[in-house]
Amino acid sequence: MAATILDGAKIATAIRAEVAAQVKALTAAGIRPGLAVVLVGHNPASEIYVRGKVRSSEEVGIYGEQHTPADTATTAQLLNLIGDLNRRDEIDGILVQLPLPSHVDSKKVLMAVDPAKDVDGFHPMNVGFLSTQRPGLVPCTPAGVMEILKRSHIPITGCEAVVVGRSDIVGKPVAMLLINANATVTVCHSKTHDLPGVCRRADILVAAIGRAGMITRDFVKPGAVVIDVGINRVTDRAEFERLFRGNAKREETFRTKGSVLVGDVHPDVVEVAGAITPVPGGVGPLTIAMLMSNTVRAAKLRRGVPTPQVR
């Protein structure tokens, strides 16, 4: 029996509606949450992401503004911009779109963002708050993973969870969130011995490694919940055949566009898992929804408005 598909787009729509209601209530109380996005240069993929973020913020009633320094901007110039945004009270969230140009000290720029406005949740202070279960801002994609699990009524307490990938952006924070939710968590990476064997222990398997279709059915315990965080573009015909041979719908997409999107999980896993997130339409839509949620959360935390703790 095929796995239940966990519809991230539907969950994201529900979260955005909740955020819009919170924004309306805050605005009525004289507080309109504000988000500033900084995009350096002209990276076409980044420009698409940023347009989506600014548009989404406006749709839920958040004040949004975009700053677009030239790709020649220096580290010092970006630090001045971040300093200005830190001082502006009407800006509750600051997002610096990555990657930055190679000549810019990215770590220095990200560290300059006021932790209270760090809606990406990357600042070491927010990482510390997460690990010690204090109120703070949690990275958007990991927070979205937890929303999918909770809103799909998937038990976490007492479950064995395996996270494949140890990045600061997804792997480590999602592991901490799962620990905080009372799962027993194993974090795997390229040096893990017998990776398939470790993954097969998982009741909840989170794939966040950035390798197309690496997690095959041999990695998955029958009935496990599989959360696929990866988004990979496949353009090679041989790779396409490995992943989608016999899939007429994907074949048509590949033929017309020259590429298809696939996660870190092989499509065949749907035949083994109990529940699974699709790519596209799974974790991806949650990332922007949680950015909106984080901006409202930042507005509340900065002004002492009660807000539930993220667990």
Catalytic residue ranges: 53, 97, 120
Q: Are 280 and 47 in contact (CB under 8 A)?
A: no
In 3D space, the residue among 44, 101, 50 whose CA is nearest the CA of residue 77 turns out to be 101
In 3D space, the residue among 227, 130, 205, 120 whose CA is nearest the CA of residue 173 turns out to be 130
Residue 61 makes CB contacts below 8 A (sequence gap 6+) with 20, 23, 24, 27, 32
Q: How many residues does the chain have?
A: 311
- Rounded CA-CA distance 101/59 in Å is 30
Helix (H, G, I), strand (E, B) or coil at 276: strand
The single residue listed with the structure tokens 């989506």 is 52
